């Protein structure tokens, strides 16, 4: 009987040795992917900025609380589904701020467009509030935003703008959701750039 018990124990141990790794693999959480927004095309090489180049500071974008996280969200009716396998690499407000700054810098090579503190007081500050950033399970995305361009000089008026953009596309994967969000942000950057003041031309030399 003792030998039989030992045999059963050895068999049970062998089963656990084989099944243990399989169970651990089955219970392991899926690998997590981190996403960011693809950087814009680099500026074409040109003359360096002069000492009196316009400085434009992009302040951190304001988002609704439920959006300002690392979750990648898709709305299904009234329910928000969080991706189980994907996350933004940083808080969404930080990601969007950095991305919009890069887009605006590429569109304004004549100016220093930055989201970092500068020694010099910026000529303009851009305050952006995104009230809606909605991606639905059916593949429709909507972005509603308003922004204010506040000049350094108190004698100049602030510029207030508002815009709404929509786009459609597949949302079966996290990458497709990220691409759809990026499409909307490119259109927002285009609208903001259009509303930025242009540098005044100085009188021609020799006059």
Residues 163 and 157: beta-carbon distance below 8 Å: no
Q: What is the pLDDT of residue 156?
A: 92
Q: What is the pLDDT of residue 43?
A: 57
Q: What is the pLDDT of residue 5?
A: 53
Q: What is the pLDDT of residue 20?
A: 53
Positions of the chain with pLDDT lower than 50, given as ranges:
14-16, 22-26, 201-207
Q: In the chain, where are the structural domains located?
A: 51-195
pTM of the model: 0.81
Q: Which long-range contacts (CB under 8 A, 24 or more apart) does 143-146 make?
A: 143/184, 143/185, 143/187, 143/188, 145/188
Q: What is the pLDDT of residue 40?
A: 77
Q: What is the pLDDT of residue 166?
A: 99
- Give me the residue label for tokens 């400085």: 55
Name the class of domain 51-195. Answer: alpha beta
- What gap in Å lies between CA 79 and CA 62, rounded to an integer? 23
């Amino acid at each position: 009987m003792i030998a039989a018990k030992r045999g059963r124990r050895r068999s049970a141990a062998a089963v656990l040795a084989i099944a243990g790794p399989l169970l651990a693999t089955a219970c392991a959480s899926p690998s997590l992917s981190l996403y960011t927004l693809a950087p814009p095309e680099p500026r074409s090489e040109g003359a360096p900025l002069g000492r009196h180049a316009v400085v434009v500071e992009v302040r951190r974008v304001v988002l609704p609380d439920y959006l300002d996280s690392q979750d990648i969200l898709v709305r299904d009716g009234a329910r928000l589904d969080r991706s189980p396998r994907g996350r933004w690499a940083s808080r969404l407000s930080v990601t969007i701020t950095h991305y919009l700054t890069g887009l605006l810098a590429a569109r304004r090579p004549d100016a220093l467009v930055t989201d970092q503190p500068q020694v010099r007081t910026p000529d303009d500050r851009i305050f952006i509030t995104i009230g809606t950033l909605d991606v639905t399970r059916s593949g429709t995305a909507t972005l509603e935003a308003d922004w204010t361009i506040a000049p350094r000089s108190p004698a100049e008026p602030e510029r207030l703008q508002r815009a709404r953009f929509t786009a459609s596309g597949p949302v079966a994967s996290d990458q497709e959701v990220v691409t759809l969000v990026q499409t909307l942000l490119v259109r927002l950057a285009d609208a903001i750039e259009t509303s930025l003041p242009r540098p005044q031309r100085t009188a021609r030399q020799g006059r």
